[in-house]
Amino acid sequence: MRLENALALVTGGSSGIGFAIAHKLIAAGAKVAICGRDERKLKRAADDLGALAIVADVAVERDVVAMIRRVIDEFGDYNVLVNNAGFGSFAPLLETSLEEMQRVYATNVFGAMLVARESARHFVSKNTGNIVNVASTAGQRGFAGGTAYASSKFALHGLTECWRAELRKSNVRVMQINPSEVQTAFFRGRGFNPRKLQAEDIAEAIAAMLAMDDRAFAPEMTVWATNPQD
């Protein structure tokens, strides 16, 4: 698609990868909405970007339904979802509580499903659309302490494959990107390593996936730092 024709929603767009994705798309001429739970932080990010701010929790169904309706109403149409909202929680199995596991899944899995479902309703009705799920290399290989986070990204990978199988016949491209460790602003005060991935690298990759002509798509992309030198 031509990025200047993108009418996009980036979940978790207040900071980090989501903010970088929104910035990249807007710079290319797209109209972009971002969502988040922290109203003050979201508004500040939207003002910096020139994006539409929608306060919403992707884990709350009524928030998601209202959010997708607002995107369509504000833009007059809607054709790109970047399913980016998510967070990590890490602990050994013996220290992992059910409550924490459910909290991670509420956003990383159930939230991603809700936003994709409501977006796909519109995309299927228009016979066109794009869904990009931001997963992780943690969803390709588990690791000690990753019970909650890694398994949530494995689950997102499964969702991606199911949606792709269902939605291709409606010309909806379902794509997934798997970043390895990405250093966002959180890391800058604690040993920021310029040789590791930054949010802008993932934004570039997603923009390239979307910019491919609509007759083709890249189902999945994994992005590693070339030589991070830990």
- Tens-place pLDDT, residues 56-87: 999 999 999 999 999 999 999 999 999 999 99
Instruction: Give residue 207's pLDDT.
Output: 98
**Cα atoms found within 13 Å of the Cα of residue 137, Cβ hemisphere only:** 11
Q: Is pLDDT of 188 > 80?
A: no
pLDDT score of 109 more than 60? yes
Look at the domain 3-223 and name its fold: Rossmann fold (3.40.50)
Residue 104 has what pLDDT? 98
CA distance 202 to 177: 8
CA 53 to chain centre: 16
Encode pLDDT of 1-21 as tens digits: 999 999 999 999 999 999 999
Say what the pLDDT of residue 30 is: 98
Nearest to 13 by CA among 26, 3, 29: 26
Q: Which residues share a beta bridge with 183?
A: 198
Residue 210: which pLDDT band, with cuts at 50, 70 and 90? Answer: very high
Mean pLDDT, the chain, rounded, equals 96
Per-residue pLDDT tens digits for 25-68:
999 999 999 999 999 999 999 999 999 999 999 999 999 999 99
Q: In whole angstroms, how far apart are CA 54 and each of 41, 94, 223?
A: 11, 38, 29
Confidence of residue 189 (pLDDT cuts 50, 70, 90): low
| 149 assigned to active site | yes
State the pLDDT confidence band at 194, using cuts at 50, 70 and 90: confident
Q: Which of 75, 78, 149, 217 is catalytic?
A: 149
Q: What is the spatial distance between Cα 41 and Cα 12, in angstroms, rounded to a whole number?
A: 11
Q: What's the helix, strand, coil split of the chain in %, to 5? A: 50, 20, 30
pLDDT-based confidence at residue 192 (cuts at 50, 70, 90): confident
What is the band of 122 on the pLDDT scale with cuts at 50, 70, 90? very high
pTM equals 0.95
